[in-house]
Every structure is written in structure tokens, then in C-alpha cells.
Chain A
Amino acid sequence: MTETDVLTAIDDALDTGTPTEADPVARELQELALMLRADSPEPADAYSEWLGKRVAQGFPKPFSAKPPWWRPLIQPAAAVGMVGVAVLLVAALAGGLSGSRSDDGGGASGGSVAESAGGGGGAESVAGSGGAAAVAEPGLPAKARSRGFAPGRADRRIERTFALELAMPVEQMQRIADQVTAVTNRHGGFVLSSSVSTGEDSAGGDFNLRIPVTEVRPALRDLAALADVRSQSQTGRDVTPAYVTARDRLQAARAERKSLLRRLETATTDTQAEAIRRRLDIVAGQINALRARLHGLRLRTDYAVVTVSLQAKDGDEGGAGGGSFDDAIHDAGDILVGIAGVLVRVLAVALPLGLIALLGWLAGRALQRRRRESALI
């Protein structure tokens, strides 16, 4: 008999309750099946009655068995905590990576970055356009300074210039111009020159600012926050050689003056004294010139040159007021793009985490099943 015949014969016997096959082997298997069924354990009457009553009552739980209200929250809280830790780890890793990029590239966002260093006077330039509000100041951190200009030398004298182009609706231009001045004053700087025009045909403005290098970074951040940054650029020029030369020459001139003064005290003839006085006049002139030069160099390196250009936004130039339908559509598109960007970032984190969680869940189920089945081995 085939396997199917045997199984059919067994099912027939179980259905009818009697062996029906003429074949001795099949009949023996039928009898065996009937005996196995007949030998099945039966529940005790008292137990059947007790369980039947519990079923009828809907399995009431004893009062003491009621779990505390917070117990169901343990697993979700643990899961949320694990996901939170994972997100923090990812964020920390991402932050570390972007931080190192900022050190290397000066932090200009959304723009091109170019650096160059010369021999006699080092120079750097960083330019970007259409970027976000963040504008980095690469010269302030010692690390960046040592990388960009003179490795191993911390007392470099560097002239820094920054340029910002801010775009805004015409009607906001005067207010933002006032805020540019306020930001400059707040950070200890001053406005060297400025011009603002709010006319419909020639709306725009230019500011020439001087801001202490120690405050230039937060000042640029505040300036960039006033309006949309259309472009940004920054340059640096190492004037350390000129500064050191002027300082050394000043020291030499002062030493010469002291020497001349001593010689003047010991001069024995009028001719000698006159010659020394003439030389003293020349040296005094040199000292004054060198002092002025050093003072100018200090000013140029202690204060960054910041030029801010105010420009009317596209569509506002020519006098049309903001708030047109096209602007609304444009703004809506920008918002949607921003939201899409956020979603992509969230998905970039959530998808791998979800995949890991799914794999873990599947592995846990498989492991649990294997452990259960091991009871039968």
C-alpha cells in the first residue's frame, strides 16, 4: 500500500470507529490508530466542571493577580528608550563628522570652498553662495589658524575681510539696515561707512564695518540671521612678516636712540653734539613712522573688515511689494522642499533602525520557537 492509502485507511478507521481494511498491514495500522485514540487521557469530571465554569464567567482574574497600571508600559518604554539612544548615537556620530568637516573647510555651507597660501604673506579665501545663515570664521580657532597660515605659530597677524550679500523685501530694507548697525555696535564694532536706498528703482544698501576678530563669528551669525544670505565670502591675508619687520625695526631704532643719547651726553665738541642731534631727529622720525605702521597693522588685524550688501529680493526690485501669489507659490515650494529634506533625514535614521528592530524581532521569534521545540528533542 502506498503512503496515501495507509493514511486514508487510518482516517477511515478514525471516522467510522472500526477497522475496515482487508489488507492485514493496513488493518493492523487501523487497529493501532483506534487504540491510540481510545487510550487518550480524559479530563476528570470535577476539573471539567471547574474549567467550564471559568469559561462561562469569562476567566475572572483574582484581585491579587491584577498587574500594576505601569506594567504594560515597561516594554514600550524600553523600546522607546533604545530607539532614543540609537538616535542619539547616530546624531552624535553625524555631529562629529560634520564638525570635523567644518574645521577643515571653514564651515561655509552650500558653497564652494577654496584656500590658498602664499609664501611671503599667506592668504586664504572662502566663498559661498545661496547658503544658510551660518557663516564660519576660520581664523579664530587656533587649530584652523595653524592649519591655514603658519603651522606651529600661534601669534600670526592676519587681516580678515568678510562679505555678505543679504536679500530681503524692499519694505524691510530700512529695518534691516538699522539692525545691521545695531548688531555691529552690540559686538563692539563700528560702522566705517554706509549707504542705504529704499527707492523702488534702486533699492539696496552697503555697509563697511569693522568688528573685533574675537566677536566676528557671532556677529556674522547675527547678521546672516537678519535676512536670506544670497552669497558670502571671506578672505584672510597673513601680514605677520610685515608686522615682525616693523616691530624689529622699531626696537632697533629705539636702541639706536638710546645709544645716540648716551653719546650725546659724552660729546666733547659742539660739532659732535650737532651731528648726534641730527641723527636723533632722523631716528625719532623713523620711530614715529614705525609706531604708526605697527598701530595700523594692529588695527587691521584686531578688527575684521566686514562688508554687508543689502539687496532687494527677486520680484521686489522695481517696487512691487511683497506678498504676491508667485511669492506665495515660491515660498510654499521652499517649505515643501524643506519638509522633504527633514523627512529624508528622518527616514535615513528610522529605516535602518526599523530594519534592525525587525530583524531582531524575527530572530527573537525564531529563537523562542527553537527553544520551545528543544523540549521535544
Chain B
Amino acid sequence: MNEAVVETVALPAAEPSEGFAELYERTFPRVYAYVASLLRDRSAAEDVTAQAFERAYRKRRSYRAARGSMDAWVFGIARNAALDELRKRKRRAKLESDPEDERATAPEDQADMAIRRETVRAALASLSGQERDLIALKFAGGLSNGEIARVLRVSESNVGTRLHRTITKLREACHDGN
């Protein structure tokens, strides 16, 4: 397991307190998807996801409901762990490479869908690391703009602006790829 420092994340509006198991059940697939999208390495993503949940479990008493949702809190921990992993393993080059995905070569995929998926992945590779982080938080992590703002420590309007700019840039990159 990789060591990562858990950093307290400023959280948004309150959410009813719940057990850690429920939090895990609700966020695990999305946290994994986010971390794997960021790291582009399934093995490392598994390590970092497990580490993030373990850290969250051990630090669960430091969470304050008045400061925001538990989802954003867990994603903040996972993001810190993923960034530490990225920095430690000097994975910048790999971050910019095409993502690996078992379904990409699935025989049942239709040809045009496969082509579109490859086009989007190629377009994703043209984005900066911060833009890819934003896309991963929004679409793989499934966070709202407000929750993303808490994780990134920026305003919600700033997240909206950056998201609009990034998705537009991604669309144009898809067109350029075609």
C-alpha cells in the first residue's frame, strides 16, 4: 500500500450521519472509477482506493457533518492519495497515454461505438492533467459541481466555468480526431 497523507477537506452542506459501511457501499464504485481514471493503472487504482477507504475509516471521527457531504470528504482523501501516488511514481507520461479498458476490445461492441470510444479517449489524452482530473471527478466520480468545488477548494461557479470550457475543448478535440 502506498502511504498518503490525509488532508482535511473543507466540505459543503450537511448530510445525515451514517455508518461507514453505507458510505463505502455508496461511494466505492465511483471512487474506484475516479482513481482509475486518474491513474490509468488498475493495479495502482486498487491500492490507492483501498488505502483511501482505510484512511477514511481511521479518520472518520474527524469528519464533521456541518462541513459538508461525506462523499466529497472521501473523494478528497482519494484524490490526495492518487496525487501522491502519481507524484511518487512519476506517472505523468502514463497519465497522458491512452487508458486501458478491458471493454475496449470486447467483441460484442459495435464497430462505430468502439470507434467513438477510441476517439473520446484520444481526445481525453489531449487534455491537461487538471482538466482530466475535473472530467474524472464529474463523470467517473459522479460528483455534483458543488462537491467538486469542495474537493478542489474552489468556488462552485469556477467549477462550472472550468467544466464548460473543458467539455467544449473535449468535444472540439473529438471533432479534430475525426
Contacts and interface: CB of A to CB of B under 8 A. Distances in A.
Given A3-B161, A40-B37, A377-B130, 11 more contacts: A35-B116, A36-B120, A39-B120, A41-B101, A51-B46, A55-B53, A369-B7, A372-B87, A375-B83, A376-B86, A376-B130
Contacts of B24: 52, 55
Contacts of B129: 375-377
Nearest to A37: B139
B72 interface: no
Given A4-B160, A56-B21, A373 B83 contact: yes
A368 B6 CA distance: 11
A155 interface: no
Interface stretch (A42-50, A289-297, A323-331): A42-50
Contacts of B57: 55, 58-59
B54 A59 contact: yes
21 contacts: A3-B160, A3-B161, A6-B167, A14-B139, A14-B142, A32-B171, A33-B139, A35-B116, A37-B139, A39-B117, A41-B140, A43-B46, A44-B42, A48-B28, A51-B46, A59-B53, A371-B87, A372-B84, A375-B86, A376-B128, A376-B129
A361 to B, nearest CB: 12
A55 B74 CA distance: 14
B53 A51 contact: yes
A115 B152 CA distance: 69
Interface in B1-38: 5, 7, 20-21, 24, 28-29, 32-33, 36-37
Which DSSP category, helix, strand, loop or mixed, fits chain A's interface?
Answer: helix
B61 interface: no
Contacts of B116: 35
B139 to A, nearest CB: 4
Given A33-B167, A56-B21, A42 B32 contact: yes
Interface residues of B, number: 52
A41 B7 contact: no
Nearest to A50: B50
Q: Interface residue tally of chain A, by bracket?
A: 35 or more
A7 B36 contact: no
A48 B29 CA distance: 9
A37 B139 CA distance: 5
Contacts of A47: 46
Nearest to A10: B167
A55 to B, nearest CB: 5
Contacts of A59: 53-54, 57-58
A59 B161 CA distance: 39
A50 B164 CA distance: 38
B10 to A, nearest CB: 12
Interface string B87-124: 10001100000010100000000000000110011000
B29 A55 contact: no
Contacts of A375: 83-84, 86-87, 91-92, 129
A368 B135 contact: no
B32 A43 contact: yes
Interface of A: 3-4, 6-7, 10, 14, 28-29, 32-33, 35-37, 39-44, 47-48, 51-52, 54-56, 58-59, 365, 368-369, 371-377
A40 B33 contact: yes
Contacts of B120: 32, 35-36, 39
Contacts of B5: 368
B54 A43 contact: no
Contacts of A365: 7
Contacts of A44: 42, 46
Interface string B142-157: 1001000000000000
A48 B27 CA distance: 12
A41 B160 CA distance: 24
Contacts of B49: 43, 51
B28 A32 contact: no
A362 to B, nearest CB: 13
B5 to A, nearest CB: 7
B69 interface: no
Contacts of B70: none
Nearest to B160: A7
Nearest to A51: B50
A4 B160 CA distance: 8
A7 B164 CA distance: 7
Contacts of A3: 160-161, 164
A7 B128 contact: no
